[in-house]
Amino acid sequence: MSGLALILAKRGFQVSGSDKGRNTSIEDLKAAGVRIFDIQAKENINQMLKSNELKPLIVVSTAIPPQNPELEAAIKANLEIWHRSDLLAELINKQRSIAIAGTHGKTTTSTLITTLLALNKQDPSAVIGGFVPYFNSNCHAGKGKLLIAEADESDGTLVKFKPSLGLITNIELDHTNHYKNIEEVIKTMQDFGKGCDRLLGNYDCQLIRENFNPFAWWSIETKKNVDFAALPVALEGNKTIANIYEKEQLIGQINIPLPGLHNLSNSIAAIAACRIEGISFNKLKEVIAYIKTPKRRFEYRGTWHGRHLVDDYAHHPSEIKATISMSKLMIDKKNSPLPTPPKRLLIIFQPHRFSRTGEFIKEFAAALGKADLIILTPVYSAGEIPIMGSNSNDLQKEIKNINPKLEIKLANSLDELPEVIKKVSLKDDLILTMGAGDINTLWDRLMKTQNGEIITNVAA
């Protein structure tokens, strides 16, 4: 919502909104001339009606309940009301655009495409679900011909988007509060694909391979029958070296500053999209060293008493598995983007939604069981009511069934975490927080504890 508001404000629209919080996004909106109400009340709608000759268009997200006082006032005033996806569709469908869909990797792939285009002086506009380091924002109102947008599948509204180029990174069952089964996810993605002028797909994902016939494929596993391939030559804890193929022909080698196979897949997807848009490989190769992942994607927060704290948005078993694999690579290879190579992996996991925790509890247990030590926090409900068999105690039992010797601690709240970490962690530990809730506030909580060795603002 903040990204859409900022783009519209910078394109000359008069924009208002309400938010009880205060953060960088809110300050950016204020600086762009957006009027921000501190509370959500019907008086806000009445005030806008009095101060504007034209009736305002009201835009709401899926998170806004029908009982919201502003929404109720807007309905009473007979105002036109759009869902957030309707507004994003207007932007995507009215100009040349690239929309990135898929269960995992959307934000990172969107960020990499935007960054590569910006570094090649294309000045794209962007609306992304995470902060793009190049712009230090989740959006950008560029003067170039392209708009880059993340196409979120969580509520199925991405079927409204008709981009010039669509990407599907992978398909798995998630958002079980909306989708009953994997067939519903595939159908939604197929409907999205039908609306794209051209579609780019991940050949390594079996469900995409079996259910789609895209304009072009990418892969990190094979060069055969794919249009763009990045086959790894060296996997290090701080970088990945890969040979790049187009139509099975070797065209060069890249050295990307991102570890992990999942990041290699995101990178070749971004390169493929840029190549389809006419950017030469040589120009992409010149700037590849400057790409960075968005915030909360293995984001180094600082060093506390010799322990390196990294925050990651991973909240699905496959995402957790990929992030742990990358972390273990750093430990095994004894090199990493952190100030010193970590020696042990301590995971602090905050499950997100009772529905997701229950649906994938065995998969979560299998993925988390690869850690050296685990701290589990209470489930971040995201508004859901508790479901029997879907809490952190249940997850602890499942992990113990797989790895009985693994040490697992339960924290009753986030406020308890600093004391628990102090008791169980060691110097040179990689403390990896994972989850889509408010687990990312741990660094601030640690800073309120007794002084230790603190290094801040060092990018991973």
Q: Where are the domains of the chain?
A: 2-79, 95-290, 299-456
What is the end-to-end Cα distance of the chain in Å, rounded?
27
CA dist 112 and 384 (Å) reads 33
Radius of gyration of the chain (CA): 22
> 299-456: same fold as 95-290?
no
pLDDT at position 74 over 80: yes
| Stated pTM of the model | 0.86
Whether residue 239 is predicted with pLDDT greater than 80 in this model: the reply is yes
Q: Where are the alpha helices (DSSP H) in 277-349?
A: 281-287, 317-333
Give me the CATH code for the 95-290 domain, please: 3.40.1190.10
* Architecture in CATH of 299-456: Alpha-Beta Complex (3.90)
Question: What is the pLDDT at residue 449?
Answer: 65
Give the distance, in angstroms, between the CA of residue 374 and the centroid of all CA atoms in the same chain.
Answer: 23
Considering only 16-20, 58-62, 141-145, which range has the smallest mean pLDDT?
Answer: 16-20
Distance in angstroms (rounded) separating the CA atoms of residues 314 and 229 = 25
C-alpha to C-alpha distance for 225 and 385, rounded to whole angstroms? 47
- Residue range 2-79 forms a domain whose CATH class is alpha beta
Q: How far is CA 139 from CA 12, 58, 134, 150, 302, in A?
A: 15, 20, 10, 11, 26
Quote the CA–CA distance of 308 and 344 in Å, as a whole number: 10
Is-contact 351 364, C-beta < 8 A?
Answer: yes
Say whether pLDDT at 117 is over 70. Answer: yes
Identify the residue with better confidence: 221 or 298. 221
Among residues of the chain, what percentage have pLDDT more than 70? 97
Residue 272 has pLDDT above 80, yes or no: yes
Between CA 161 and CA 164, with CA 180 as vertex, the angle to 5 degrees is 15
Q: Does 341 have pLDDT greater than 80?
A: yes
Question: What integer is the mean pLDDT of 181-196?
Answer: 95
pLDDT per residue as tens digits for the range 423-451: 999 999 999 999 999 999 898 888 876 55
